[in-house]
Amino acid sequence: MIELQNVSRKFGHKKALTDINLLITKGKIMGLAGENGGGKSTLIKLMAGLLKPTNGSITLDGLPITRRSATHISYLPDADMFYPNFTVAQLFRFYESQFDDFSLDKASHIADFLNISLDDKLKNLSKGSRGRAKVAITLGRNTPYYLLDEPFSGFDPMVRQDIMKGLIKFTDTEKQTIVLSTHEIREVEPLLDEIVILKDGQVIAHEETENIRDLYGKDTISWMMSLFKEGEEHGTTTNR
């Protein structure tokens, strides 16, 4: 499991995250939601070991998370970070050389499922096809944890549907954990076991999605909006 205890992160004098406490267990799909600038990407990078907390601790199965934790975590960044002259096949072979757990066969199968040609150069792909390629290399690794930063951002509904289908088809949801940040809550909600809401760098709610309607009598979007409205009315945020 990934555990965050009293985690804060500053960039200079600016607070990005404040006193985050989360427990992320195996076999879950967890969504991180909230407004732009709420701290979602920073939180993902901290869990991936790409950033260090200013205060607090982050552990993976009891051991501190560092960049070496990449052997157990597959991270999908929001930005494209590829060599543009690579073909998709060359990108796969590069990942195979970097990660012992990367399966060329699995990645190729995912690419076929997502209708990506292995012979196309990355610079010639549409944004949607590059997004599919990012998912293929991320899920092509066989790790306990997948951390996905805005995997659906900027894509049309068809691409988003393809990516969501790929997440289900090519992960073992009983043994592997997916944490993803997203603005597309309405579309991705059926995938999620849990949802964490961030506002101004704080966790204002952490709930199992199947409990939201029963406990609050609202759909997920209405529940989120009520949380933000409540915070604005009180001028503060509170954990739930």
Q: What integer pLDDT is reported at residue 76 of this predicted model? A: 93
CATH number at residue 111: 3.40.50.300
What's phi and psi for 42, nearest 5 deg?
-60, -40
What's phi and psi for 154, nearest 5 deg?
80, 5
| Domain encompassing residue 128 | 2-234
Establish if 239 belongs to a structural domain: no
| The pLDDT of residue 222 is above 80 | yes
Least confident window among 25-29, 122-126, 185-189, 231-235: 231-235
Q: What integer pLDDT is reported at residue 234 of this predicted model? A: 55
Q: What integer pLDDT is reported at residue 235 of this predicted model? A: 56
Establish if 226 belongs to a structural domain: yes
pLDDT digits (tens, 9 = 90+) for 162-198: 889 999 999 998 899 999 998 888 888 888 999 999 9
Question: How far is it, in rounded angstroms, from Cα 76 to Cα 223?
Answer: 28
Establish if 221 belongs to a structural domain: yes
Question: How far is it, in rounded angstroms, from Cα 225 to Cα 108?
Answer: 40
| The pLDDT of residue 240 is above 50 | no
Establish if 145 belongs to a structural domain: yes
Whole-prediction pTM value? 0.90
| The pLDDT of residue 43 is above 80 | yes
Establish if 26 belongs to a structural domain: yes
Least confident window among 146-150, 151-155, 190-194, 196-200: 151-155
Question: How far is it, in rounded angstroms, from Cα 65 to Cα 24?
Answer: 14
Establish if 115 belongs to a structural domain: yes
| The pLDDT of residue 239 is above 60 | no
pLDDT digits (tens, 9 = 90+) for 56-89: 999 999 999 988 888 899 999 887 767 889 999 9
Establish if 240 belongs to a structural domain: no
What's phi and psi for 113, nearest 5 deg?
-60, -35
Calculate the average pLDDT of the chain.
89
Establish if 160 belongs to a structural domain: yes
Look at the chain and report how many structural domains it folds into: 1
